Amino acid sequence: MNKVDFQILKNFISKAGDGYIEDLKKILKQPSVSTRGEGVEKCAHMLADSMEKAGFNVEIWRIKGANPVVYGEAYGFSSKTLLIYGHYYV
C-alpha cells in the first residue's frame, strides 16, 4: 500500500482545489438512480477516478444484486483512522 503524507495531500488539494471542485460538479451532475439502474456504474467509475487522482488506492467491489461499492484506502504517518462513508447514487 502507498503511504500518504496527509499534509502533502492537504497542500496539494489547497493548490488544486478548483480541479477537485470541478470533478465533484461532474460527479454530482452524473445521473445515478439505483432503482432504474441509470448511470450508477459510470458514477462509480467517476468517483473511483477522482479518489485515485487524490492518491487513494481504489477498488470497485461487485456484490450480486447490489450497486458497486467504491472502496479506497490511503495510509498516512499516523495511527489514527478517518472513515468517510456515503452514497453516490439515489
Q: For 9-66, how does the pLDDT look when each residue is reduced to its tens digit (9 = 90+)?
A: 778 778 777 777 888 888 889 999 988 889 999 999 999 998 998 889 999 999 998 9
- Asked whether residue 54 is assigned to any structural domain, the reply reads yes
- Asked whether residue 88 is assigned to any structural domain, the reply reads no
DSSP assignment letter at 67: P
Residue 6 CA from chain centroid, whole number: 16
Between 90 and 65, where is the model more confident? 65
- Asked whether residue 84 is assigned to any structural domain, the reply reads no
- Asked whether residue 52 is assigned to any structural domain, the reply reads yes
Q: How many other CB atoms are there within 10 angstroms of residue 59's CB atom? A: 13
Phi/psi at 47 (5° precision): -65, -45
Instruction: Sort strands 57-61 and 69-73 into parallel, antiparallel or unpaired.
Output: antiparallel
Contact 60, 69 (CB under 8 A): yes
| pLDDT score recorded for residue 2 | 62
Q: 0.85 exceeded by the pTM?
A: no
Range of the domain at 40: 6-73
- Asked whether residue 26 is assigned to any structural domain, the reply reads yes
| pLDDT score recorded for residue 49 | 93
> What is the number of domains present in the chain?
1
- Asked whether residue 78 is assigned to any structural domain, the reply reads no
